[in-house]
Amino acid sequence: EDIEDFNYGLPTNDPDPPSGDKPIEVDETNKEINLGGGLNDGYGSIWYGGDSDTANCIDGNCNLGKGFRAYFEFVSNLVDSSPDSTTFGDGFTFSIISGVYDTVPGTYRNTKYDTGGPLGEYLGYAGPGLPIAEGGDEKGIKPPKIALEIDTFPNPGAGSICSSNSRNDGPPEANHIALDYWGEDTPGSLDAVGGSYMRIGSESPADGSPEDWSSTVGTISFWFKRDTTNYGDGTSSGDRLWGQDANMETRFDSTGTTFNLDWGSGGNAEGAIAAGNPFTGVGTWYFMAITWDDDTERLQVFWGDETTPTTLLSENLIWTGDMSPLGGLITENLFMNSSGGDGLKNYAVDGNGSDLRYYNVELTLAQLENVRLFGSEPGLQSNFPLQSDFANAATSTPASAAVGDTQWSQDTPSGFDCGTGAATYDDNRHGAGGGTTQPMNSLNTHPGSGDDGYYQVVKAPLDDNWMEDGLLYGVRLELIRPKLPNGSVYEYQIKAWTVCVDATCSDLDAVQKANFSDTRATYDGSDPQIELTLKKGNPLELAESVHQDLKSILFGFTQGTSGATQDITLKNMDMRFIKTYPVSDLSTW
């Protein structure tokens, strides 16, 4: 009934749509929204921008409170009978996005005029960080955000996440719905100023505990950026990025012309690598990885940066070091500092460090390139995203501590904008594929639990493609926002259905159909196609900072097309916010 309060988010970032054909149109007379308009390469968003006392919404910014139940209907006016479902597309999302006010830089996180990226597979939802507007402005819908996507154009490419054809959808003859989440683990960085640095594990461990990163085969990787270049001159800013004791560290020589890796328990000669120095830029983000294998006596150091692919910098094939806890006499793990030869820890780096990882396997060059771009590989034991604390995202072990005056920064390598982080998803990163192939499964936050954020229907030989058959479909989404955390995370619970409600189909009987569209109560007339709940053991686990960023939200729709076109009508939307606890028995919901 409030359709006049929906506002366009279009590539021009203009509140009024451009003249002529429009990628999104509002029909106030019939109370319908049209997505696609039959245009190629059209994208945009449309957000509720009104006021509602009952929903606690002001200018479209709503108090998410305890959650919501939403229902709407859609019909594809273009029927796709193609065997690979590529005649029309690409689809659309129903999204909730953060609407909190960021005191720095003093603006709202998102507004009712924002939209996402231009590629069809982005569905108008991806961003920011991608070249959306002319001139390469990094605009877009900022995380955190959650979307239910209706995808009518399978993309099985699985290429680079920052380029087109990067999806890993199911079989080409299957349209799907998926729950997309973006915002959890995008790394920030530790701003190491005033001699501050990070200690991982205990100091001088007696038991060789696993958090002290002393496996006989292993890999350490991290990103760093220096604000000044003070080399190994013994000052308080000596540029030693990593150290495990006086003889196992990274360092620059006093002239700054050679980068050294000393990685041997019995002295520098056993594990020294004079590796040159590609790390010359101030204000440049560099990627570094150190790999070792006691058995093969191989020690290697790799490097890359925001645009340079990972490559081998130098290696030692007769390394005689010993990484075992007692043999190596590893006393500590320091990031952005080292004990140095004098053991005084006066070699702190003036700059930023991010996305610190430890693996108990020796990663290959190809795997390290994947780590640099996407941040995940087998054997990961510890991962410190360093967004706002020293929490270990890979295990439950709180294996780190701050030394000095710790500060945090959102300054990260540009590649992180494309989705680095194991739980960070946008519309260009999920899929029905498996294994270690990127992009990763849609919201499969608990490996082994199944693709609970992804549901597809394979086309029958003589049928039209699912959701593109000219029939009316009903979509229902229920979200419960937890009141209290479970440990360090907030467990969001989500259910979603997309079923045919047309008079010619029989997905629901009359009673089910009436209850299905009723948002005043939870629905249990049929099993959800997407279910992330405590009952199933796979809720969406969000950090407290993200939970707080979702206290105020905007809601609406995004859509995108590429070489194909689409013409979709939305109508009969009803959304109700849940205001009081208990919303139900959360343990069984």
Q: Using CA atoms, how far apart are residues 286 and 229, in angstroms rounded to an integer?
A: 14
Would you say residue 62 has pLDDT above 70? Answer: yes
DSSP structural state of residue 168: B
Would you say residue 132 has pLDDT above 60? Answer: no
Would you say residue 325 has pLDDT above 70? Answer: no
Would you say residue 80 has pLDDT above 90? Answer: yes
Average pLDDT over residues 61-82: 96
Q: Using CA atoms, how far apart are residues 431 and 26, in angstroms rounded to an integer?
A: 31
pLDDT band at 423 (very low <50, low <70, confident <90, very high): very low
If you search the block for the tokens 């941040």, which residue do you land on? 375
Would you say residue 251 has pLDDT above 80? Answer: yes
Q: Using CA atoms, how far apart are residues 33 and 114, in angstroms rounded to an integer?
A: 17
Q: How confident is the model at residue 185, as a pLDDT?
A: 47
Residue 79 identity (one-letter amino acid) = V
The whole-angstrom distance between residue 484's C-alpha and the CA centroid of its chain comes to: 23
- Three-class SS state of 5: helix
Q: How confident is the model at residue 574, as a pLDDT?
A: 95
Query: Which range is most confident: 387-391, 431-435, 445-449?
Result: 387-391
Q: How confident is the model at residue 407, as a pLDDT?
A: 82
Query: Which range is most confident: 347-361, 395-409, 462-476?
Result: 462-476
Average pLDDT over residues 109-135: 70
Query: Torsion angle, CA of 248/186/367/381, rounded to 10 degrees?
Result: 50
Would you say residue 67 has pLDDT above 90? Answer: yes
Would you say residue 131 has pLDDT above 50? Answer: no
Which of the residue ranges 74-83, 404-413, 562-571 would you say has the lowest mean pLDDT?
A: 404-413
* pLDDT above 70 coverage of the chain, percent: 77
pLDDT band at 386 (very low <50, low <70, confident <90, very high): confident
- Of 553, 529, 556, residue with least CA distance to 473: 529
Query: Which range is most confident: 149-158, 279-288, 427-436?
Result: 279-288
Q: Answer yes or no: are the C-beta atoms of 387 and 184 closer than 8 Å.
A: no
Q: How confident is the model at residue 367, as a pLDDT?
A: 87
Q: Using CA atoms, how far apart are residues 41 and 124, in angstroms rounded to an integer?
A: 11
Q: Answer yes or no: are the C-beta atoms of 321 and 263 closer than 8 Å.
A: yes
Q: Answer yes or no: are the C-beta atoms of 295 and 361 closer than 8 Å.
A: no
* pLDDT above 90 coverage of the chain, percent: 33
Q: How confident is the model at residue 579, as a pLDDT?
A: 81
pLDDT in tens, 3-23: 999 998 877 544 454 445 689
Residue 251 identity (one-letter amino acid) = R
More confident residue, 586 or 146: 146
Strand ranges for 459-522 from DSSP E: 472-480, 489-500
pLDDT band at 223 (very low <50, low <70, confident <90, very high): very high
pLDDT band at 329 (very low <50, low <70, confident <90, very high): low
Q: What are phi and psi of 280, to 5 degrees?
A: -95, -20
Would you say residue 444 has pLDDT above 70? Answer: no
Average pLDDT, the chain: 80
Q: Count Cα atoms within 13 angstroms, Cβ side, for 569.
A: 13
Average pLDDT over residues 190-207: 76
Q: Using CA atoms, how far apart are residues 517 and 523, in angstroms rounded to an integer?
A: 9
pLDDT in tens, 520-536: 999 999 999 999 888 88
Average pLDDT over residues 164-178: 75
Q: Where are the alpha helices (DSSP H) in 250-289?
A: 268-271
Instruction: Kindly list the distances between the CA atom of residue 476 and the CA atoms of 70, 136, 148, 535, 576, in Å, as whole numbers in the listed order.
Output: 6, 36, 10, 19, 12
If you search the block for the tokens 């451009």, which residue do you land on? 18
Q: How confident is the model at residue 117, as a pLDDT?
A: 73
More confident residue, 374 or 440: 374
Q: How confident is the model at residue 437, as a pLDDT?
A: 31
Q: How confident is the model at residue 136, as a pLDDT?
A: 39
> Per the structure block, which two tokens stand in for 330?
């590893």
CB atoms within 10 A of CB 66: 17
Would you say residue 265 has pLDDT above 80? Answer: no
Q: Answer yes or no: are the C-beta atoms of 356 and 213 closer than 8 Å.
A: no
- Of 470, 459, 431, residue with least CA distance to 173: 459
Which of the residue ranges 122-136, 376-390, 429-443 would you say has the lowest mean pLDDT?
A: 429-443
pLDDT in tens, 346-372: 888 889 999 899 998 999 998 898 788
CB atoms within 10 A of CB 334: 25
What lies within 8 Å, CB to CB, of 177 at 6+ separation is 148, 149, 150, 151, 454, 455, 456, 496, 498, 529, 530
Average pLDDT over residues 141-159: 82
End-to-end Cα separation, the chain, in angstroms: 30
More confident residue, 480 or 137: 480
Which of the residue ranges 20-24, 286-290, 507-511 would you say has the lowest mean pLDDT?
A: 20-24
pLDDT band at 225 (very low <50, low <70, confident <90, very high): very high
Would you say residue 197 has pLDDT above 80? Answer: yes
Q: How confident is the model at residue 165, as a pLDDT?
A: 55
DSSP structural state of residue 386: -
Residue 391 identity (one-letter amino acid) = A
- Three-class SS state of 458: strand
- Of 149, 99, 240, 218, residue with least CA distance to 430: 149
Question: What angle (nearest 5°) sits at the alpha carbon of residue 259, between those of residues 256 and 263?
Answer: 140
